[in-house]
Amino acid sequence: MKFFPLVLSNLMRHKLRTTLTILSIALALFLFASLRTVVTQLEISSQLGAANRMIVQNATAFIFPLPQSYATRLATIPHVTGVTWANWFGGKYGDGRKFFGPLAVDPASYLEIYKNDFLVQSDQKEAFLRERTAVIVGQGLLKAFGWKIGDNVTLQGTIYPGDWTFTIRGTYSLKETAYGDEQFLFHYDYLYERVKDNVSPGWFILRIDDPARSGVVAKSIDDSFRNSPAPTKTGTEQAFSAGFMTMFGNIQLLMGTIGMAVVFAILLIAANAMLMNQRERSSEVAVLKTVGFTDRTIFSLVIVEAAFMALTGAALGLGLAIILPKATHFNAFGFLPGFHVTSGTVMVGAGIALLLSVLSGFTPAYQAARMPVVQALRRVE
């Protein structure tokens, strides 16, 4: 574009103002993208789970266990092709400052049902299955505590009192990062052998042959246990995740409102900068018009200038939002594993930048284009 040098020299006239405006746009978009990522990350987490997996819990509340004997009964329900179970262990390591949730699982069936999500090397898997006190640990947790494979680690039980020593026999990697790389999975039998009748499965995980039948399966399970001492509540794994995420409270609304405030605040800053630019330049606009620039060209020059600032700022801000969590391994204190800016967020951010160019540039551009030459020249004197 042949007018580019002109736009550039206008931008360079108040270097400080241009820089500060670009930086405020960058900060705002950084903030916007980060806040939106919290929301999208929660959405990802709340849709977590395979369509062919279902969770069976105690209907009264998830803190109540279910009898071990349900495992065999669940396996006989039509469409159910696999059953495993897990139990919340509740232990802390060291000073207990870092939170993680160790799970007692039925090792073989658990790894079988999650074989496409938690990827474990076959030699590590065998070592884990062989040994009753073995544990499989996520890479993130391994790093956080500085453990290595082969280490013995001792947790203090909070629900099941006492010291519990495990041997790390393997790690897993993830296909979907939102599952989190801070799991701690050990043998249910190890727990059972020490506390006997005080433990029974916290929840069952089922695999079904046809995701479309999940409603039917849930109903037949809940119906068959309705009059037993421990009625069940069955749902898809996704519904389970979604329910868990609702426990955070209305974060969407909170983040959305702040995001709006942020966007509106930069709009004000950017529009103000453009208005100031234009006000100071009325004489030059008049000169350009005397030279023969059309109103339309003048209008576009101003819009292009605004767009340059908005888009540069957006590129900086969105870039930072993408890079920073990767560089710092940010995961919101473990609540949002796999924190990353989605392409949707980048698109919305870019859209905001474009909107910003138009909104902040329009009034000054319109004023400049409509300015009568004679009046503007008089102001020069």
Which residues in this chain contact other proteins in the complex, by CB under 8 A? 14, 16-17, 20-21, 23-24, 27-28, 30-31, 35, 59-64, 90, 92, 96, 99, 156-159, 161-162, 231, 233, 239, 242-244, 246-250, 254, 258, 261-262, 264-266, 268-269, 271-273, 275-276, 279-280, 332-333
> Which CB atom, from 136 or from 309, has the smaller least distance to other proteins?
309
> Which CB atom, from 170 or from 259, has the smaller least distance to other proteins?
259
Q: How far is the CB of 275 from other proteins (least distance, A)?
A: 6
Strand pairing report for 80-88 and 102-105:
antiparallel
Distance (Å, whole) CA 183 – CA 340: 20
Nearest to 222, CA basis, from 236, 235, 204, 208: 235
Token pair 């069955």 in the structure block, residue: 234
Q: How far is the CB of 260 from other proteins (least distance, A)?
A: 9
Residue 163 has φ and ψ, to the nearest 5°, of: -95, 135
Q: How far is the CB of 60 from other proteins (least distance, A)?
A: 5
Distance (Å, whole) CA 45 – CA 312: 32
> Which CB atom, from 2 or from 333, has the smaller least distance to other proteins?
333
> Which CB atom, from 262 or from 285, has the smaller least distance to other proteins?
262
Q: How far is the CB of 144 from other proteins (least distance, A)?
A: 16
Q: How far is the CB of 240 from other proteins (least distance, A)?
A: 9
Token pair 């139990």 in the structure block, residue: 87
Residue 367 has φ and ψ, to the nearest 5°, of: -60, -45
Distance (Å, whole) CA 56 – CA 86: 11
Distance (Å, whole) CA 317 – CA 325: 13
> Which CB atom, from 124 or from 200, has the smaller least distance to other proteins?
200
Q: How far is the CB of 253 from other proteins (least distance, A)?
A: 9
For residue 300, the number of C-alpha atoms closer than 13 Å in the C-beta half-sphere is 8
> Which CB atom, from 119 or from 311, has the smaller least distance to other proteins?
311
Distance (Å, whole) CA 181 – CA 331: 11
Nearest to 204, CA basis, from 48, 67, 79: 67
